Structure 1
Amino acid sequence: MIKITFPDNSVREYEKGITGLQIAESISPRLAQEVLAASVNGETWDLTRPICEDATLQLLKWDDAEGKHAYWHSSAHLMAEALQELYPGIKFGIGPAIENGFYYDVDPGEGVSIKESDFPAIEKKMMELIAAKEEIKRETISKADAIKMFSDRNEQYKVELINELEDGTITTYTQGKFTDLCRGPHLPNTSYIKAVKVLSAAGAYWRGDEKRPQLTRLYGITFPKKKMLDEYLEMIEEAKKRDHRKIGKELELFTFSQTVGAGLPLWLPKGTQLRLKLEEFLKKIQQQFEYEQVITPHIGGKQLYVTSGHYAKYGKDSFQPIHTPEEGEEFLLKPMNCPHHCEIYKAFPRSYKDLPLRLAEFGTVYRYEQSGELHGLTRVRGFTQDDAHIFCMPEQVKDEFLKVMDIIFIIFKALNFKDFEAQISLRDPANKEKYIGSDENWEKAERAIVEACEEKGMKARVELGEAAFYGPKLDFMVKDALGRRWQLGTIQVDYNLPERFELEYTGADNQKHRPVMIHRAPFGSMERFVAVLIEHTAGKFPLWLTPTQVMILPVSEKFNDYAYKVARTLKSHDIRAEVDDRNEKVGRKIRDNELKRIPYLLIVGEKETENEEVSVRKQGGIDQGSEKLTTFANRVKQEVDEMMNPQVNI
Structure 2
Amino acid sequence: MSEPIAYLVDGMPVDTQTVAAKNLQGSPLFFDNSEASLELIRHSTAHLMAHAIKRLYPEAKFFVGPVIEDGFYYDFRVAAKITEAELKTIEKTMLEILKEKHPIERYELTKAEVSQKFVADDLKQEVLKRIPEGGVSIYKQGDFEDICRGPHVPNVNLLRFFKLTRVSGAYLGGDETREMLTRIYGTAFADKETLKEHLAMIEEAKKRDHRKLGNELKLFTFDEEIGAGLPIWLPNGSRLRSKLEHLLFAAHRKRGYQPVRGPELLKADAWKTSGHYDNYGENMYFTVIDEMEYGIKPMNCVGHVKVFQSDVRSYRDLPLKFFEYGVVHRHEKSGVMHGLFRVREFTQDDAHVFCTPEQIKENVIEILDFVDQIMKSFGFTYEMEISTKPAKAIGDDAVWEKATQGLKDALDEHGFVYGIDEGGGAFYGPKIDIKITDALKRKWQCGTIQVDFNLPSRFELSYIDQHNERAQPVMIHRAILGSFERFIGILIEHTGGEFPFFIAPTQVVIVPIGEEHHSYAKEVARKLLEQGIDAEVSAKNESLNKRIRTAEKQRVPMIVVVGEEEVKNQSVALRDRRERMQSTLSLEELLAQLKEKMSEVRF
TM-score (structure 1 length as normaliser):
0.89
Which residue in the other structure is 1:595 paired with? 553
Alignment of 1:447 onto 2:405? yes
Alignment of 1:637 onto 2:601? no
Which residue in the other structure is 1:49 paired with? 18
Which deviations, in whole Å up to 9, do the C-alpha atoms of 1:529-567 show, x marking residues without a partner?
100000100111111000111111111212111111111
2: distance between equivalents of 1:630 and 1:489? 40
2: distance between equivalents of 1:43 and 1:396? 38
Which residue in the other structure is 1:119 paired with? 87
Which residue in the other structure is 1:79 paired with? 49
3-state DSSP class of the match of 2:503? coil
2: distance between equivalents of 1:96 and 1:54? 26
Alignment partner of 1:503 out of 458, 461, 483 = 461
- Give 1:636 shift: 1.0
Which deviations, in whole Å up to 9, do the C-alpha atoms of 1:245-285 show, x marking residues without a partner?
11111211111122221111111122111111111111122
Residue identity opposite 1:287 in structure 2: R
1: distance between equivalents of 2:15 and 2:248? 48
Which residue in the other structure is 2:250 paired with? 284
- Give 1:165 shift: 2.8
Alignment of 1:625 onto 2:593? no
Which residue in the other structure is 2:201 paired with? 235
Residue identity opposite 1:346 in structure 2: Q
3-state DSSP class of the match of 2:280? helix
Alignment of 1:149 onto 2:114? no
Residue identity opposite 2:287 in structure 1: I
- Give 1:638 shift: 0.9
RMSD of aligned Cα (Å): 1.8
Which residue in the other structure is 1:132 paired with? 100
3-state DSSP class of the match of 1:386? strand
2: distance between equivalents of 1:253 and 1:387? 23
307-316 or 203-212, larger mean C-alpha shift: 307-316
2: distance between equivalents of 1:268 and 1:443? 46
Alignment of 1:345 onto 2:308? yes
Note closer, same or farther for the CA distance 1:236–1:163 as it changes in structure 2 (3 Å cut).
closer
Residue identity opposite 1:337 in structure 2: N
2:176–2:335 CA contact under 8 A, matched in 1: no
3-state DSSP class of the match of 2:89? helix
2:63–2:126 CA contact under 8 A, matched in 1: no
Alignment of 1:425 onto 2:387? yes
3-state DSSP class of the match of 1:544? helix
2: distance between equivalents of 1:555 and 1:294? 49
Alignment partner of 1:294 out of 257, 260, 263 = 260
Between 1 and 2, higher relative CO (CA 8 Å, sep ≥ 6) is seen in 2
482-491 or 225-234, larger mean C-alpha shift: 225-234
1: distance between equivalents of 2:399 and 2:33? 36
- Give 1:91 shift: 1.1
Alignment partner of 1:90 out of 49, 60, 66 = 60
3-state DSSP class of the match of 1:74? helix
After the TM superposition, which residues 448-527 of structure 1 pair with which residues of structure 2 at under 5 Å, given as runs?
448-527=406-485
Alignment partner of 2:150 out of 145, 160, 184 = 184
Residue identity opposite 1:449 in structure 2: L
Unaligned 5+ runs, structure 2: none
Which residue in the other structure is 2:362 paired with? 399
Which deviations, in whole Å up to 9, do the C-alpha atoms of 1:598-636 show, x marking residues without a partner?
111111112111111111111158233201111111111
Residue identity opposite 1:371 in structure 2: S
Percent same amino acid at aligned positions?
A: 43
After the TM superposition, which residues 19-418 of structure 1 pair with which residues of structure 2 at under 5 Å, given as runs?
29=1, 32=2, 36-50=5-19, 57=27, 59=29, 62-109=32-79, 112-151=80-119, 154-319=120-285, 321-324=286-289, 326=290, 328-417=291-380
2:279–2:393 CA contact under 8 A, matched in 1: no
Which deviations, in whole Å up to 9, do the C-alpha atoms of 1:67-94 show, x marking residues without a partner?
2211111111111111111111211111
Note closer, same or farther for the CA distance 1:61–1:496 as it changes in structure 2 (3 Å cut).
farther
- Give 1:451 shift: 2.1
Alignment of 1:561 onto 2:523? no
3-state DSSP class of the match of 1:120? helix
2: distance between equivalents of 1:580 and 1:189? 63
2: distance between equivalents of 1:221 and 1:130? 16
Residue identity opposite 2:88 in structure 1: P
Residue identity opposite 2:231 in structure 1: P
Residue identity opposite 1:414 in structure 2: S
Which deviations, in whole Å up to 9, do the C-alpha atoms of 1:94-143 show, x marking residues without a partner?
1100001100010114xx32222211111111111211222112223222
- Give 1:223 shift: 2.4
1:36–1:71 CA contact under 8 A, matched in 2: no
1:90–1:106 CA contact under 8 A, matched in 2: yes
- Give 1:526 shift: 0.6
2: distance between equivalents of 1:456 and 1:545? 32
- Give 1:60 shift: 5.9
2: distance between equivalents of 1:446 and 1:61? 36
Residue identity opposite 1:232 in structure 2: H
85-94 or 615-624, larger mean C-alpha shift: 615-624
Note closer, same or farther for the CA distance 1:372–1:167 as it changes in structure 2 (3 Å cut).
closer
Residue identity opposite 1:262 in structure 2: A
1:37–1:61 CA contact under 8 A, matched in 2: no
TM-score (structure 2 length as normaliser):
0.96
2: distance between equivalents of 1:221 and 1:585? 47
3-state DSSP class of the match of 2:118? helix
Which deviations, in whole Å up to 9, do the C-alpha atoms of 1:135-159 show, x marking residues without a partner?
11222322222222222xx222222
- Give 1:54 shift: 8.3
1: distance between equivalents of 2:463 and 2:106? 58
Note closer, same or farther for the CA distance 1:36–1:393 as it changes in structure 2 (3 Å cut).
farther
Which deviations, in whole Å up to 9, do the C-alpha atoms of 1:405-436 show, x marking residues without a partner?
1111111011111x3221221236xxx4x221
Residue identity opposite 1:95 in structure 2: G
3-state DSSP class of the match of 2:599? helix
2: distance between equivalents of 1:539 and 1:172? 47
2: distance between equivalents of 1:228 and 1:65? 13
2: distance between equivalents of 1:81 and 1:286? 56
2: distance between equivalents of 1:44 and 1:345? 48
3-state DSSP class of the match of 1:369? coil
1:573–1:634 CA contact under 8 A, matched in 2: no
3-state DSSP class of the match of 1:49? helix
Note closer, same or farther for the CA distance 1:360–1:555 as it changes in structure 2 (3 Å cut).
same
1: distance between equivalents of 2:139 and 2:468? 64
1:244–1:534 CA contact under 8 A, matched in 2: yes
